[in-house]
Structure 1
């Protein structure tokens, strides 16, 4: 379990501060509501003493009008305050979701390290809502305190001992309430963590449902989720039990306190120290005090859960970046396009790169060339892709683009020049055309050329609405080969000076793969392309192939030469 710490407090303060005007307005109106409600028993006491006891009908009518005005004010203030407070809470939660989204999408990465996608979703939904809930209930806390103060002042005017009893008794009750909320905060944090983990596991299993069915692993997947769900349920029950104990303990303490006020008031009335009307007012105020104390109980519980959620949000927002940010545009942006419109950048150089499974990789890629990379270890291929896309900075060595180390360029600048298209690229729940454009302003001609080069035009022809056909979630309405062709067309349409493709045709039939290989070379002519693959059809159209084994470069050459002379290469590519 992680401690919310000062970072969580900072998230809460920022959420409240961002909506301070709304919170202040809602608090002011809520104070008007509680103050007016506290005055109701006082006015009733005055009615008894000034009108009922004396039989003065004029005084009775006058005080009844005062009561009606009080009820109008308190009801209007409550409705308006609740509406503003709810709006402030929702807007605060929305802002937190925007902040979390910006952090997750930050080019420097790192927010998803050690977290399943479902966990991040749970933080951005459930935890953000709970912190927004704190903002929404803050005016109720202010109004409850104001109600207690108004009651204490009114009781002081009726009887100094009664007023002092309230003033002296409130601080210890609030301190006890804070202490009692500590277990609730701890158990709420545990509940939220386990619920987020369960959401992450569920999303993970749903994403791989087709694979699980294919290998007959449904029972193992169900067992895994059942264990996770039971852990989450147990944590939720512990948190619910803690909330019940917290609320019950606070109500018991406030009940004892209110009973004490009633007993002292009755004793004073029996001694003749206060009048009958003042006794009625005192008893009414004692009953009224139950409302502010219940509000404080509710707010205290919300704060306890909100602090736990704020801590989890702070952990995501404060996640260390996977790569540094130099904050410079470097040379890449300035030299991307020549006067004729052709790319002039694209020379890659890896020198002594060590990262994960890479142990010291050295090779050059000339600008405008088509180079294949064969990695016998899939982990080495993944680490190479992360370094080229600057998702990770190498532990040792450098990756250079046109002589400039990638670490000297901001991640967003690197990705304007280098596009790494991963093997497991997802599609969006949009049309085929939208997926290829991917939110950019790529023209129709460029889209058509990209789709033709990736054989995605054949996918469009097979769909009922052509390029306007809308995919289901993650493109599951398509076959694996169709998804790969659409993803490849998207990578082509982006038209980056350097394109790194990882196994782009593993699910495509051999005939289509050969067509893609032939079109790829022509489509990317004059721009740098790196193919990280073991596909013979793709490697056959490259200028040269770099072979990685054991984390280092063990061979380089043209594909036919390596097939003829290198047995290790043959086994990796032709097996």
Structure 2
């Protein structure tokens, strides 16, 4: 964060130099005109032309590096905010996945935009100050006109910015709600089509989408009113400077060069005034998004971090009546695997690892030691596995976008990803339900060989996977898969149905 602050401060300095140079350009041009039209030493004209060239060099350098530094700081801050949101989400927070994604994207981007807005605001103020000083040196009325215009724009900006902040916050909230429902509907699209619930899904999404649109339009109208008011005032200001400056030149109170400089400064001042209005809008929107991010980060954690280091992990697990020795390959057959999986993922309940309660341990270390691979795994474009042993265990997976893979191919890619992580304790929940029987049998044997010496818990009813375990736990009974199939009809009904 200190590095980002230094980048922003440097960008502010360079932006101020840029606007100072921009403001000095019409002043120096006015001097050059006076030198060119007056019977003075020719070398004075050359010197002032050289000064003008130096000012242009300053403008070019400071703009390029100042803007680059501000953009870099904005991108890094946005990235850091996104990581903070993701880390917090991984510890359990209320809200739909779509809402949380919107926080990590739209709100994070707006928070980062502050690093770009602040230097631009500093540059606008610097430009106005230099322009006002220069005009005051030429004529008090011209300098006063700039100062009055800046105060009027600041007052209007303050009033409209307060309205924009509230509407910007509502815009983000409504958009997050709509995105959350849309994500849920897309995820369950096949089910919705299967049960013919498209109309109900449409009826649920439409009012949220409309509310999001109305909130966005309201925020855009306020932003438009702010920009329009500033643009109108800028036009009045420019016309006023031209009128007052022309009268002063005709009266002989200022020179022709001063008149040119005054008109040039008036045209220049339009940009800082407009930019300050834009900066005000960005800052209030960033403030609203920052409040949403802080609210999320302040939410009590569902999965607290104990902080204690685990040390070397042997892999002995005890949870919810299940006891697994280090290096065991155990199958678990249960009607409701959710409590067991939630406890092992530290989402609910508790368990012991190598005889110690993990509640007081570092969350990151527990997750590195115990990997719970759920039945449904999210895959993203670019997800690849390079571990040759893991790929060999699951069979060939086509090298293309995971969204284009079949259900079985997606399952095998997800399993390969879990195997490549090679954690001391691996928990797999129905990893082969979409795979054909022949492939499943080959995967079961390869999985057993690849995980030799590492604790593996298979929560499944697959006979192929259970046949390659050391033992199977079925309620209050346990034993080899073949023995349970032979001796217990209820077990046969579950795994062989």
Q: TM-score surpassing 0.5?
A: yes
Question: Shift in Å at residue 246 of structure 1?
Answer: 0.8
- Alignment match, 2:172: 192
Question: Shift in Å at residue 23 of structure 1?
Answer: 0.7
- Alignment match, 1:543: 471
8 Å CA contact retained: 2:20, 2:130 = no
Question: Shift in Å at residue 546 of structure 1?
Answer: 4.2
- Alignment match, 2:74: 93
- Alignment match, 1:388: 344
Relative to 1, partners in 2 of residues 1:281 and 1:32: Cα closer, same or farther, differing over 3 Å? Answer: closer
- Alignment match, 2:435: 508
- Alignment match, 1:481: 408
8 Å CA contact retained: 1:23, 1:85 = yes
- Alignment match, 1:557: 478
Relative to 1, partners in 2 of residues 1:71 and 1:407: Cα closer, same or farther, differing over 3 Å? Answer: same
8 Å CA contact retained: 2:375, 2:431 = yes
* Matched residues, number: 493
Offset from partner CA, 1:325-350 (integer Å, 9 cap, x none): 333322xx32x4xxxxxxxx222223
Relative to 1, partners in 2 of residues 1:518 and 1:37: Cα closer, same or farther, differing over 3 Å? Answer: closer
Structure 1 distance, partners of 2:413, 2:284, is 48
- Alignment match, 2:371: 419
TM-score, reference length from structure 2: 0.80
Relative to 1, partners in 2 of residues 1:512 and 1:261: Cα closer, same or farther, differing over 3 Å? Answer: closer
Q: For residue 91 of structure 2, give the secondary structure of its aligned residue in structure 1.
A: coil
Structure 2 distance, partners of 1:498, 1:251, is 64
Question: Shift in Å at residue 80 of structure 1?
Answer: 2.9
Question: Shift in Å at residue 401 of structure 1?
Answer: 0.8
Question: Shift in Å at residue 414 of structure 1?
Answer: 1.7
Deviates more, 1:243-252 or 1:187-196: 187-196
Question: Shift in Å at residue 404 of structure 1?
Answer: 0.8
Offset from partner CA, 1:26-66 (integer Å, 9 cap, x none): 2243133233145258548x83xx875xxx4447x678657
8 Å CA contact retained: 1:418, 1:496 = yes
Structure 2 distance, partners of 1:83, 1:111, is 43
8 Å CA contact retained: 1:371, 1:546 = no
Question: Shift in Å at residue 245 of structure 1?
Answer: 0.5
Structure 1 distance, partners of 2:334, 2:202, is 35
Q: For residue 114 of structure 1, give the secondary structure of its aligned residue in structure 2.
A: coil
Offset from partner CA, 1:71-124 (integer Å, 9 cap, x none): 5345434433332233223312331343245335649823765242x5555545
Give the root-mean-square deviation of aligned CA atoms. Answer: 4.1
- Counterpart of 2:228 (choices 226, 248, 251) is 248
- Unaligned stretches of 5+ in structure 1? 1-10, 337-344, 351-360, 438-443, 464-468, 548-554
Structure 2 distance, partners of 1:145, 1:320, is 41
Structure 2 distance, partners of 1:258, 1:144, is 17
- Unaligned stretches of 5+ in structure 2? none
Question: Shift in Å at residue 419 of structure 1?
Answer: 2.0
Corresponding position: 1:472 with 2:423: no
Structure 2 distance, partners of 1:18, 1:404, is 45
TM-score, reference length from structure 1: 0.71
- Alignment match, 2:63: 82
Structure 2 distance, partners of 1:536, 1:522, is 17
8 Å CA contact retained: 2:8, 2:119 = no
Question: Shift in Å at residue 502 of structure 1?
Answer: 0.7
Structure 2 distance, partners of 1:494, 1:159, is 73
Question: Shift in Å at residue 374 of structure 1?
Answer: 3.5
Deviates more, 1:241-250 or 1:137-146: 137-146
